[in-house]
Structure 1
Amino acid sequence: MLKRFWLWLGRLLGKVLLFLIVVGLLGWAAGEAYYSWKFSGPVSSEEEIPADEAELTQGIIEDAIRVVEQHRDNTRVMRDAHAKAHGCVKARFTVLPDLDPALRQGVFSEPGKTWQAWMRLSNGNAYPQFDRVRDARGMAIKLLDVPGKKLLETPASAGNQDFVMFNHSVFFVRDVAEYKLNFAAQADGKKVLAFFPSLDPRTWELRHLFIALQTLSPAPESPVTTTYSSVAPFKLGNHAIKYRVIPDPQSCPPYELPAQNTALPNFLRNALYQQLSLDRVPACFALQVQRQNPDHYMPIEDTSVEWSEAIAPFETVATIKVPAQDFDSREQNLFCDNLSFNPWHALPEHRPIGGINRLRKAVYEAVSVYRHERNDTD
């Protein structure tokens, strides 16, 4: 009797498992078909601005101010994101001597030209935390003494061309409207509601939740061993492009970083200090661009969609060398904290486009002004 029961139960469980596998495969096939249909070209090569975007942006600025106040360090107001820097380092940014003429725009217009720059490497969170915590990582580059009128210009930034990136190829929201819902939930301390705003499954953003989880990655060995992406698109002359910075170790002397104590709260800064300041070995990168092909699904207004490299491969336009240097001083760390990076500190040839970039213009500027006023810095 007992043997027959177990045989019956085994057959039942086998059928249930087979049923679940079939349902899962059908669901996967349906999802693939849906997204293949949804994410198919052609798309616009121009911006499409929603009517309510300005109102949503103002609400996001208010939420960003709430976040910086929540994360104040004693009396100092920090950034609303990427608050913890691993260091600001001097760099040399050199345009390829044989660059494709179609890409010779803005700071790339003179082949072989070298720009002096600052590079800030950071964690993504709005509050400094141990480096071993899963987090996004950021790179911001500020080219210096760039002539020409900028899209967003203050006395302090008049000669700057900025590039702002983080270590994932896509963003976990598609547009300003979704960013407003997501950021407001986080500012209220209700992170679950950021991706599940209601009980209605149609409002759930499971794909974007997966992107967010991928973005919160384990710490790299060093800040200079990671690829950093613009995520949002930009103009490069007549082209719509995305850009990224990749490590280029073959352009620098061979180097193997000694094992770091990852239990230390600031081991990424230590790794950077070990290479540049103690071992006196430079770090090398390449800046690459990816041109939009609007015949395929490479949208301007949805930053949660990755542009296919098979259709539009990245092309190297410049090299970046971070020379050996001493950077970890109190004066330089304070200087680093007061630096403001904004993708709109840019020549018209590098104009940021798309909703998330339009949002950045307003939010970065508002938070920067608020932060510097509260910190009483010039």
Structure 2
Amino acid sequence: MLKRFWLWLGRLVGRLLLILVVVGALGWGLGEAYYAWKFSGPVSTEEEIPKDEAAMTQGIIEDAIRIVEQHRDNTRVLRDAHAKAHGCVKAEMTVLQNLVPELRHGVLVEPGKTWQAWMRLSNGNAYPQFDSARDARGMAIKLLDVPGEKLLSSKATAGDQDFVMFNNSLFFVRDVAEYKQNFAAQASGQKIRAFFPSLDPRTWEVRHLFIALKTLAPAPDSPVDATYSSIAPFKLGPNNIKYRVVPDPQSCPRYELPEQNTALPNFLRNALYQQLSLDRVPACFALQVQRQNPNYYMPIEDTSVEWSEDISPFETVATIRVAAQDFDTREQNLFCDNLSFNPWHALPEHRPIGGINRLRKAVYEAVSVYRHQRNAAPQSR
């Protein structure tokens, strides 16, 4: 009798598992069909600005300042995101000699031109946690002594052209309205409500939750081993583009990083120091752009949608070289902390577009000013 019971139970469990597999496959198929229908072109090549975006932006600024106060490091006010730097290093960006004429705009107008730059590599969290924690990773590049009027600048940043990126090609919110709801929930410590704001399933953002979980990835072996993307779109002259920075090891001497102790809280800084300062081996990257094809679903106002590389492949426009150097000093780390990066520190030919970039303009500037004032520190650039 006991044997019959176990056989019956085994068959029942097997049928239930089969049903779950079939239902899961059906749900997956329906989801794929739905998004294939929803994410179909054509799309606009122009920005579409909601009427209440300015009011929502002000609310986000207030939440961002609340977060930087929550995560104060003793007496210093940190960034509201990417608070922990692995280092700021000197770099050079060189425009390709054979760059196609359609992409020669802004800082890319002169083939072969080399720009001096600062590069900041960081973790994404607003609190400086161990590098072994799952997190986003960021890269910000500041080209120096770039002539021309900028979209946003101070006396200290008048010559800057900034590029701000992190290590995913998608963002986990689509627009300013969703960002406000998500950010407010996280600022209040209600992380579940960030993606499930109510009991109504129509308000759930399951796809965006998976994007967020993918963004919170294990650490790379080194900060120079990752690919960093702009997420949001930009102008490049008349083109609408997204950009990214990818490792380009074949343009540098061959290098194999010694195994790092990943139990150390700052092993990514150690890896960077090992390569650049101890082993004296440079790191190389390529700056690439992807042009919008508006006949397909490559939206400007939704940063949770990836632009298809099959339709519009990335094109290399410049190379970036980080020479061997000594960067981990008290003076340079303080200088790094006072650096201010904003994608609106830009020539008009590189104007940020889309809701998330419009939000960045206001939030980055407000938090930067607040942080420097509270720290009684000069905004070095």
Aligned-partner residue type, residue 56 of structure 1: M
Tell me, in whole angstroms, the C-alpha distance in 2 between the residues paired with 1:6 and 1:248. Answer: 58
Q: Which residue of the partner structure matches residue 98 of structure 1?
A: 98
Q: Which residue of the partner structure matches residue 197 of structure 2?
A: 197
Tell me, in whole angstroms, the C-alpha distance in 2 between the residues paired with 1:304 and 1:7. Answer: 48
SS in 2 for 1:165: strand
Q: Which residue of the partner structure matches residue 129 of structure 2?
A: 129
Tell me, in whole angstroms, the C-alpha distance in 1 between the residues paired with 2:58 and 2:121. Answer: 28
Tell me, in whole angstroms, the C-alpha distance in 1 between the residues paired with 2:94 and 2:31. Answer: 44
| Aligned-residue offset at 1:67 | 0.3
Matched, 1:159 2:159: yes
Tell me, in whole angstroms, the C-alpha distance in 1 between the residues paired with 2:320 and 2:13. Answer: 59
Matched, 1:267 2:260: no
Tell me, in whole angstroms, the C-alpha distance in 2 between the residues paired with 1:10 and 1:273. Answer: 57
SS in 2 for 1:117: strand
Tell me, in whole angstroms, the C-alpha distance in 2 between the residues paired with 1:265 and 1:8. Answer: 52
TM value normalised by structure 2: 0.98
Deviating runs (4+, > 4 A) in structure 1? none
| Aligned-residue offset at 1:29 | 1.3
Tell me, in whole angstroms, the C-alpha distance in 1 between the residues paired with 2:20 and 2:76. Answer: 54
SS in 1 for 2:168: coil
Tell me, in whole angstroms, the C-alpha distance in 2 between the residues paired with 1:185 and 1:12. Answer: 42
Q: Which residue of the partner structure matches residue 169 of structure 1?
A: 169
Unaligned 5+ runs, structure 1: none
The correspondence of residues 71-90 of structure 1 with structure 2, limited to 5 A, is 71-90=71-90
Question: Which whole-Å deviations, capped at 9, do the CAs of 1:77-128 have from their partners, x for residues lacking one?
Answer: 1100000000000001000000010000000000000000000000000010
Tell me, in whole angstroms, the C-alpha distance in 2 between the residues paired with 1:26 and 1:342. Answer: 44
| Aligned-residue offset at 1:349 | 0.3
Q: Which piece of structure 1 moves more, 251-260 or 1-10?
A: 1-10
Question: Which whole-Å deviations, capped at 9, do the CAs of 1:334-374 have from their partners, x for residues lacking one?
Answer: 00000000000000000000000000000000000000111
SS in 2 for 1:57: helix
Q: Which residue of the partner structure matches residue 59 of structure 1?
A: 59
| Aligned-residue offset at 1:8 | 3.3
Aligned-partner residue type, residue 133 of structure 2: V
Identity of aligned residues (%): 83
| Aligned-residue offset at 1:164 | 0.2
Q: Which residue of the partner structure matches residue 370 of structure 2?
A: 370
TM value normalised by structure 1: 0.99
Question: Which whole-Å deviations, capped at 9, do the CAs of 1:138-190 have from their partners, x for residues lacking one?
Answer: 00000000000000011011000000000000000000000001100111111
| Aligned-residue offset at 1:195 | 0.6
Unaligned 5+ runs, structure 2: none
Tell me, in whole angstroms, the C-alpha distance in 2 between the residues paired with 1:262 and 1:12. Answer: 45
Tell me, in whole angstroms, the C-alpha distance in 1 between the residues paired with 2:30 and 2:54. Answer: 37
The correspondence of residues 355-366 of structure 1 with structure 2, limited to 5 A, is 355-366=355-366
Aligned-partner residue type, residue 42 of structure 2: P
Q: Which residue of the partner structure matches residue 291 of structure 2?
A: 291
Tell me, in whole angstroms, the C-alpha distance in 2 between the residues paired with 1:90 and 1:187. Answer: 34
Tell me, in whole angstroms, the C-alpha distance in 1 between the residues paired with 2:245 and 2:14. Answer: 50
Tell me, in whole angstroms, the C-alpha distance in 2 between the residues paired with 1:138 and 1:36. Answer: 30
Q: Which residue of the partner structure matches residue 228 of structure 2?
A: 228
Tell me, in whole angstroms, the C-alpha distance in 1 between the residues paired with 2:220 and 2:11. Answer: 47
C-alpha RMSD of matched pairs (Å): 0.9
